[in-house]
Structure 1
Amino acid sequence: MPVAHPDHLAARHVARRLRRSILAGLVVAGALAAGTLTAPATTAEPAADLGPQVVRTDAPPSGYSVTFRYDAPDDVEAVHIYGDWFYSQPESVTCFDCGDGRDPSQWRPGDIAATPWKTLAMERGDDGVWSITVPLPAGSFRYAFTHDCTDELATGCTLHDDPANRWQIQPQYEGAPGAVRSTIYVPESKKFPTYDTDDQAPPRPNKTGTLESRRYPSPQSTNPVGVHDLVVYLPHGYDPDRATPYPTLYLSHGGGDHSIAWTMQGVAHHILENAIQDGSAQPMVIISTDFNGLPGGNEGYVDELRDNVIPFVEQNYNVSDRAEDRAFGGFSAGGSRAYTVMYDHTELFGYHAAWSAGEREANEAQIDRMKAVTGGIMIGTGLQDHLGNIAENSQLNAAALKAAGVDIDEHNVPGTHTWHVWRPLLNHYLRELAFSTTSTSLELDVTPAGHADRVTVTATATVDAVTTSITAPTGKVDFFAGDRHLRSAPLRDGEARIRTSIDKAVLDEPVVAHYHGDDLFSGSDSTPVTVR
């Protein structure tokens, strides 16, 4: 079957990166103006205020550093910062928690952020404030502080978030997991490039949406009893009265996290807004769920989605109630739940994504259900994720499903069992699959052309977005008879049409219309039409 030309795809990705680089530059410029980002200096003074300050150093290894200042209680004798910024060469990561484990000042090209987290000692200044300057590559990072902790891995030590940089949404119930709730974003240096993480950059203030912490009725919930929590992100410009309802992305966290994880650690809302600004995703509502305190394991979680979460969301927000307009994604323990949704409750969502989860072999009935998915299915992992052989098992499972005839978008990235993997996997899902699927149909009209061996063919292709959308697919459609290219035509109001005179013999091969796709929508092929 015809496929999109690789030059078209390459140009598409180059244009996206250029737009993201421009956006990142605007974010940095805004930070400079606000005083939260310091211009290059050979001898930078520590920040006067508490909290983190991103400093552009234009020095190796990464061209940026972050100065952290923390005011601990007077009786604390030692403070360490605890962060997810230790690095290893991929070949050294041969098991979970293995690797070089170098601190960020020793970052090398090709490094991956590898577990475990470790601590770095801070120094107390004359003003009593503890500080440390950490050179960091580009990306989003979490951190916390320890008091009088002697263990390098902070094992058994209490973790304290940064009062000057605490996440804007906190759990609504006692005992919610996830102790590290302070984050920082570092842009990429052009002089010392590290990672392309512009998609994670906080959008400009006038381009941000709204985060909401909501509580909904849940007869199943045991903690809190009778109610449960979720975090809602409404995209920039969300209109509760828009005639066309929004699509909805439902996300599940992993073990040890809860509903704030996907926006705090995962910066899912930043990734979405940057994709929207690039023209690579349409505005959607994000629902970050919480599987803690729900009985019944994976099936109990699906019951909660179907019976409580989805009805609450569709009653309270301007979102579509069509399965084709819902997407689901989860990682680790949430990835296992994603497989349960994908295998056994496929009809709930039009798009499915399972990340960093090995999962079991699918049976024939499950495979048949997945073949019927109208949107798309993504499977991905960190290539050095050795927690329970996840990297190997995820790839084996994807290969088995493809061999069984299931259309899988497999996308794997360098990395272990960390948010440094799950953020780019979500970015790929939003830009390349979720709510981008199209369907192409073809009608042919064949008439004599005034010569015994020739006919006139009028071919009309209709391209529709599978997801309800205010934007229609654009671009062009190519028409083929077997391997022979007949002609191309642009899409106008969802249709592309050609009229051409050809030899009758050409129609011995079936005719296919191939839509190339655009930045927002994926390409698709019509069912082959046989004339004779």
Structure 2
Amino acid sequence: MSLGVGLVVSAPAAASAKPAAKEGATVKADKHSPTGYTVTFVYRNPNATQVRLAGDLTLLDVNTGNTRYQPEEWQPGRYHAGGTEFLRDMTRDKKGNWSVSLPLHAGGISYWYRVWDPTQGWENKRIWDPASTNPRPPGESSFRTRNNDVLDAVYVPYATKQNDPVLKSRAEYELPAKPKDRGTVRYVPYTTILGDSGHYLGVYLPPGYNAKRAQPYKVAYLAHGIFGDETDFMVPANVPNILDNMTAKGEIEPTVVVTMGNHFTGTSLGFASYNQTNAADNLVQTILPLIEDRYNVATDRSGRAYAGFSYGGMTGAHVIRGYPTTFGYYGHFSGNPSLSAQDYDNVANAVGDDDLLVFLGNGVFEGNLNNQNAIADNFRARGYTAHTTQVPGAHDGMTASQLFTIFARDHLWTGADTVGDARAKVKAKAAPASVPAGRAFTLDVEVRAQKKHKKSPTPTGEITVTFAGSTHVVTLNKGKAVVKLPTSGLSAGSYAVHVAYSGDRTYAPTAEVHQKLRVR
């Protein structure tokens, strides 16, 4: 997901110390690090003659534009960014462990290794970290593997010394969730619309996925950029981590994700193998039927989303133009759909009065939002919802990660008919709790979120109060309601108050018996 030339930097003197033995990327708090954390990368290969750490690890500063900084030069306002490949020599110990350490800021950060190993015929071979636990398609089938262009990711926590709300938010969503809150990622073999086998779809299933659930799961179909494949939105864009964390917070209903590799036209490794028309047809005519047959997912447009990064975002034009009623939500990350005035009108004629939401964004180091805003205005002019935004990033997977977070948290499924699953607590109290017959009780009701919800911090909807055989339905105002409970005709005695809450897309319905009220 990154483009650009490489810049080799020799390892600093400190790297010549004895390398750590643990393979992979190890993140440790470090008060001497400018970010508060140091990451040590260890790759074991006794046969290698040279190894370099590589990645989207140089920094760009929002105040200085295109000037590149080394990781050790981090300060607030600087962000790891693609476009120039970071390269640093790793140091070998006597056991064949190659290592290097450097500070990284918070979030999921893209990296890989470059290896020279004559025993395997490798010369500047780009590999992902063999110690990584991220699932991959089997064999050498994926485009990135065949094109010597793989990526991995290391997950760095936020330290208060970073003093950056953007990085704090990235750590909140991009780092792995608690084990109990994690979904699953698998790669499913399939045959493309052109009849070619040996391709794979990435499938993320949310935690607690239930194949027999009465309500099908909403589903997002995500397309990579021109140099990517079906792994990109899993790693390094970190969609599984983002949705795990978002679901645990109750900020989105459990959602299935499907990723596909669009380099299947012909056998070349060039641009032509990513044919956008074929990709759109393959998605709708081949992938959707397969996924909808195999998994418990939505089959209507209100439960389907399409989003893409770079060339995948541009491919969205072919999807919405060719299949305007298939998806209700579109996300275009660092890649805009090219649509004519007639295209917009055709989409509007097909969609009619149904909902359609379009989201467009890019990184601040990619340029302004003029084109995105113009596209959004074209949709708005035809009565549809459109949003644009910009995040601190370049043309890489880390920007795609940030844009997906905003798209999913703030916009996905907002117009869909759904039942929320975030938990809320109902509190109800009447004072006094005893009145003479003929007088009315005043019941104060408050519905509170058990965890603060960014999309909807205050529950909306209504409460239904049952008291002494009568029912009162009241709409919440800022999470609260006042209900008058008359006692005319009631005999002396105690009467239970039952309060039920419902009607919010974010919060789950709940009901319980509250206090008993006494009529004298």
- In the other structure, the counterpart of 2:223 is 252
The residue type equivalent to 2:365 in the other structure is Q
Distance 1:339 1:290 in 2: 18
Structure 1 residues 292 and 520: alpha-carbon distance in aligned structure 2, compared to 1, 3 A threshold: farther
1:420 equivalenced with 2:401 (yes/no)? no
Greater Cα shift, 127-136 or 101-110: 127-136
1:58 equivalenced with 2:31 (yes/no)? yes
1:267 equivalenced with 2:235 (yes/no)? no
Equivalences for 1:264-303 in 2 at 5 Å?
264-294=235-265, 297-303=275-281
The residue type equivalent to 2:59 in the other structure is Y
Q: After superposition, give the CA deviation of every residue in 1:185-222 in whole Å (9 maximum; x if it has no partner).
A: 0010123334121111101112211211111233414x
**SS state of the match for residue 369, structure 1?**
helix
Deviation at 1:374, TM superposition (A): 1.4
The residue type equivalent to 1:366 in the other structure is Y
Equivalences for 1:24-423 in 2 at 5 Å?
46-74=19-47, 76=49, 78-93=50-65, 99-114=66-81, 115-147=83-115, 157-165=124-132, 167-171=134-138, 173-174=140-141, 176-177=143-144, 179-194=149-164, 195-196=167-168, 197=170, 198-221=172-195, 225-226=196-197, 228-294=199-265, 297-367=275-345, 369-370=347-348, 372=352, 373-386=354-367, 391-403=369-381, 405-423=383-401
CA RMSD of aligned residues (A): 3.3
Q: Which has the larger radius of gyration?
A: 2
Structure 1 residues 201 and 106: alpha-carbon distance in aligned structure 2, compared to 1, 3 A threshold: same
- Asked whether the 8 Å contact 2:107–2:157 carries over to 1, the reply is yes
Equivalences for 1:485-496 in 2 at 5 Å?
490=475
Deviation at 1:392, TM superposition (A): 4.3
The residue type equivalent to 1:287 in the other structure is V
| Matched residue count | 400
**SS state of the match for residue 257, structure 1?**
coil
Unmatched segments (≥5 aa) in structure 1: 1-43, 94-98, 150-155, 441-472, 478-487, 500-515, 522-532
Structure 1 residues 313 and 498: alpha-carbon distance in aligned structure 2, compared to 1, 3 A threshold: farther
- Asked whether the 8 Å contact 2:41–2:101 carries over to 1, the reply is yes
**SS state of the match for residue 124, structure 2?**
coil
Distance 2:379 2:365 in 1: 22
**SS state of the match for residue 65, structure 1?**
strand
Greater Cα shift, 390-399 or 195-204: 390-399
Unmatched segments (≥5 aa) in structure 2: 1-16, 118-122, 267-273, 419-457, 463-472, 485-502, 509-520
- Asked whether the 8 Å contact 1:339–1:354 carries over to 2, the reply is no
- Asked whether the 8 Å contact 2:40–2:102 carries over to 1, the reply is yes
Match of 2:460 among 467, 475, 482: 475
**SS state of the match for residue 230, structure 1?**
strand
More helix by share: 1
- Asked whether the 8 Å contact 2:106–2:158 carries over to 1, the reply is yes
Deviation at 1:400, TM superposition (A): 4.4
The residue type equivalent to 2:43 in the other structure is Y
Q: After superposition, give the CA deviation of every residue in 1:480-503 in whole Å (9 maximum; x if it has no partner).
A: xxxxxxxx95259xxx9999xxxx
- Asked whether the 8 Å contact 1:142–1:180 carries over to 2, the reply is no
**SS state of the match for residue 100, structure 2?**
strand
Structure 1 residues 200 and 426: alpha-carbon distance in aligned structure 2, compared to 1, 3 A threshold: same
The residue type equivalent to 1:380 in the other structure is G
**SS state of the match for residue 54, structure 2?**
strand
Distance 2:338 2:391 in 1: 22
- Asked whether the 8 Å contact 2:142–2:199 carries over to 1, the reply is no
Q: After superposition, give the CA deviation of every residue in 1:333-365 in whole Å (9 maximum; x if it has no partner).
A: 100112322344220111111111134343245
Distance 1:439 1:234 in 2: 21
Structure 1 residues 64 and 435: alpha-carbon distance in aligned structure 2, compared to 1, 3 A threshold: same
- In the other structure, the counterpart of 2:515 is none
Q: After superposition, give the CA deviation of every residue in 1:93-113 in whole Å (9 maximum; x if it has no partner).
A: 3xxxxx222111101211233
Distance 2:110 2:417 in 1: 41
Structure 1 residues 287 and 148: alpha-carbon distance in aligned structure 2, compared to 1, 3 A threshold: closer
Distance 1:125 1:85 in 2: 24
% identical aligned pairs: 26
Distance 1:74 1:226 in 2: 35
Deviation at 1:259, TM superposition (A): 0.9
- Asked whether the 8 Å contact 1:219–1:227 carries over to 2, the reply is no
The residue type equivalent to 1:88 in the other structure is L
Deviation at 1:406, TM superposition (A): 3.7
Structure 1 residues 401 and 436: alpha-carbon distance in aligned structure 2, compared to 1, 3 A threshold: closer
Q: After superposition, give the CA deviation of every residue in 1:166-185 in whole Å (9 maximum; x if it has no partner).
A: 63223555462253243210
Distance 1:490 1:312 in 2: 43
Structure 1 residues 407 and 343: alpha-carbon distance in aligned structure 2, compared to 1, 3 A threshold: farther
Distance 1:256 1:203 in 2: 28
Distance 2:61 2:51 in 1: 29
The residue type equivalent to 1:348 in the other structure is T
Structure 1 residues 217 and 48: alpha-carbon distance in aligned structure 2, compared to 1, 3 A threshold: closer
**SS state of the match for residue 391, structure 2?**
coil
